[in-house]
Structure 1
Amino acid sequence: MTDGFVTLADIDKARHALAGKVVRTPTVQSASLSKTIGTPVHLKLEHRQITGSFKLRGATNALSNLTGPEKQQGVVAASTGNHGRALAFAAHLEGVRAVICMSSLVPQNKVDEIRRLGADIRIIGKSQDDAQEEVARLVREDGFTMVPPFDNANVIAGQGTLGLEIVEDVPEVETVVVPVSGGGLASGVAAAIRAVRPSARIIGVSMDRGAAMRASLDAGKPVLVEEYESLADSLGGGIGLDNRLTFAMIRDLLDDVILLTEEEIAAGMAHAYAQEREIIEGAAAVGIGALLAGKASARGPIVAILSGRNVDMNQHRRIVCADATGERAIPCPA
């Protein structure tokens, strides 16, 4: 790390640590989006990762950097679902005990999958911050080793490997559109892209319901936000008032962070299904949604990251069926 930022050297090191443990996901051109936007648009299909999201990269790299005694103590994390699933998977492979703390807002399908992977589950409160308090207690009282979902150098470096793949697959990329929540993915990707393709623009996208990173950028410091149900449930949660890395990296490395309505997120999910033949969760659809809504006006070639597929299929079915009949997609899970 240099001046508190994760560097290309950190990301290269992570890539070696992840070799054989994660999938190098494909990047494909979207004929429909390219025609609609009027410039080449590519999709980074990270939702095809082993655990269904990019989170496996960061969790695996963080776990690989723990000492033997730290692993023996067991690992614990707060999660909106996908980090917990990734950490549970990585920990299971190494025979490490994992405890995942989540709020009551985490969809049941994500909770069930984490339980299936053998992790202990704690449902605490109605926010990511509430869940984080339980993590802190388990570290303090029971000696667990915390593996944060985003504000951790090894997690960020692991997510940054995705950025290296983007530049290798689309060397002339001019714009990268990336989902933003706590900022682990966006800061890692931005660190990689800025180092290899400094002229490229990097646009972050979140939902307009309790977007903690956008609110913090507007305030000039990390702030608390109220959490709400959203189709992009993986983008919920705070960034931590004591945020050490991702806030500054997002502030300094991204060109913009834009917000989408629930209808625009639903449109992204519906487009991915109808035109790209891909099933993705709301958080993964924000890049497509931003392009379709004209909110991510950008020069091409463009790469939009589809970050995860761990969606409740009943919710997904309602959204794509509503779109097919011309109805207004419901904003939140029924």
Structure 2
Amino acid sequence: MGLITKEKGACNLSKKVEIKEVEKAQNRIASLVNKTPLIESFVLSEKMGRPVYLKLENTHDIGAFKIRGAANKILSLSTEEKSRGVTTYSTGNHGLAVAFVAKKLGIQAVVCISSRVPKAKVDSLKRLGAKIEVVGRSQDAAGVRCYELAKEKGYTVIEPFDDPFIIAGQGTIGLELLEDLPDLKDVVVPLSGGGLLSGIGLALKSNRSDIRITGVSMEQSAVMYESIKAGKPVEMEESETLADSLLGGIGLDNHYTFKMIQSYMDQTVLIPEEEIGYAMAYMMDKQRIIMEGAAATGIAAVLGNTIPHQDGALAVIVTGQNVDMSILLQVIENYTPKKAEVDFA
């Protein structure tokens, strides 16, 4: 596993999202977004020797946390902007969120995706009535087409992560954790473009600076991880991974999330593919929870004992459940719970 730990005073935020924006978001999205359950995982608590909780963002209508940011951004648009329609680019879950919110509000939506987006997410996008454009083999390629559409049609681009409204919307998860878990000491957050960790980090660290935040990514194409190592945003080719939701660049002209991750994240862990698969199988067997590979990275980090022990509760953000049945069957066949227990013992 790769690991980066935070250097104190490593950065200053050039563009800031304030905690008051997260609080506004909590009120703004209440009509479309329900508070998600927080449950203790007794099997993980027993293995860790401390209370381990699961924040079930997979229980949203779209099966993923992304609805929070999308709702906050779209609800903040003017009447004129809504009438012109919206467009976005996505590895799948953000596109689902934009399509869902747009349908609820009667807004036209065009979602640009790459050919890597799993069939389960494409099928869900179609059911939500969004227009889909499949472009290239990466989220970055889909992003180029998204901005072309915005220029041609006058659509408003709903960024997947590097936007203050998106970050504030995702940050409402942090406010819910503070409400439900006073003894919170550690939070494990899947990390890609950084909108989720930036928002949660802002919400938690603004209220409790002692809470430790760990970002988790897959080993291949972990762009934010490599960017933090390099001290600036970098580009990478996308690779095949079970954690497909964590693919995509962070933008060389990143305005918010890169600096926020530098400021709020205490350590980063990279998870090998086999451990992502084991974590998916383990949770299906022991907890009866289906989760996509991106969500399983957090579970793998816990099972692999990569979070240094301290007294108090640990929360894992279960980001989504939108995974192809074919992938689940492969996970069941190749990563049995028995094998997982041996590897994570």
Normalised to the residue count of structure 2, the TM-score between the two structures is 0.92
Q: 1:313 aligns to what?
A: 325
Go from structure 1 to structure 2 and tell me whether the alpha carbon gap of 1:314 and 1:327 turns closer, same or farther (over 3 Å shift): farther
Whole-angstrom CA distance in 2 between matches of 1:324 and 1:210: 26
State the alpha-carbon separation in 2 of the partners of residues 133 and 219 from structure 1: 24
Q: 1:172 to 1:312 in 2, by over 3 A?
A: same
Determine the structure 2 residue equivalent to 1:57: 68
The answer to whether residue 86 in structure 2 is matched with residue 75 in structure 1 is: yes
After superposition, give the CA deviation of every residue in 1:199-229 in whole Å (9 maximum; x if it has no partner): 0100000001101100110111111011011
Equivalent position of 1:126 in the other structure: 137
In 1, the alpha carbon distance for the partners of 2:319 and 2:87 equals 23
Residue in structure 2 matching 1:297, options 273, 284, 308? 308
Q: Which residue of 1 aligns with 2:57?
A: 46
Structure 1: gaps (5+ residues): 329-334
Answer whether contact 2:25 2:169 (CA < 8 A) is retained: yes
Paired positions, count: 327
1:282 paired to 2:293: yes
- Which deviations, in whole Å up to 9, do the C-alpha atoms of 1:90-144 show, x marking residues without a partner? 0001111100001111111111111110111011011111011101111122211
Counterparts of 1:210 and 1:83, CA distance in 2: 19
The answer to whether 1:92 aligns with 2:103 is yes
Q: Secondary structure at the match of 2:133?
A: strand
TM-score in terms of structure 1 length: 0.95
- 1:331 is matched with which residue? none
1:66 aligned residue (65, 77, 84) = 77
Could you tell me how far apart the structure 2 residues matched to 1:22 and 1:276 are?
25
Q: Counterpart in 2 of 1:137?
A: 148
Distance 2:279 2:174 in 1: 22
Aligned to 1:332: none
Residues 42 and 221 from structure 1, CA distance in 2 versus in 1: closer, same or farther, beyond 3 angstroms? same
Q: Which runs of 5+ in 2 are unaligned?
A: 1-12, 341-345
Q: CA deviation at 1:5?
A: 2.1
- CA distance 1:261–1:22, shift in 2 (3 Å): same
Q: Report matched runs for 1:1-334 at 5 Å.
A: 4-299=15-310, 300-324=312-336, 326=338
RMSD of Structure 2 on Structure 1 (CA):
1.4
- Contact kept in structure 1, 2:14 and 2:259, CA below 8 Å: no
**Is this contact kept in 2: 1:175–1:298, CA < 8 A?**
no
Aligned counterparts of 1:318 and 1:129: Cα–Cα separation in 2? 28
SS in 1 for 2:288: coil
Residues 44 and 306 of structure 1 are in contact (CA less than 8 Å); yes or no, is this contact kept in structure 2? yes
TM-superposition CA deviations, 1:249-297 (whole Å, max 9, x none) = 0011100121101111112111211111111100011111011112222
Letter in 1 for 2:289: E
1:21-44 CA-partner distances (Å, limit 9, x unpaired): 112111111111111111111111
Give the distance between the partners of 1:25 and 1:317, measured in 2 at CA. 27
What residue identity is the alignment partner of 1:291? V
| Cα deviation, residue 3, structure 1 | 5.2
8 Å contact kept, 1:46–1:307 = yes
Q: Percent identity?
A: 46
Aligned residue for 1:178, secondary structure, equals strand
More contact order relative to length (CA 8 Å, sep ≥ 6): 2
* Pairwise CA distance, 1:322: 3.1
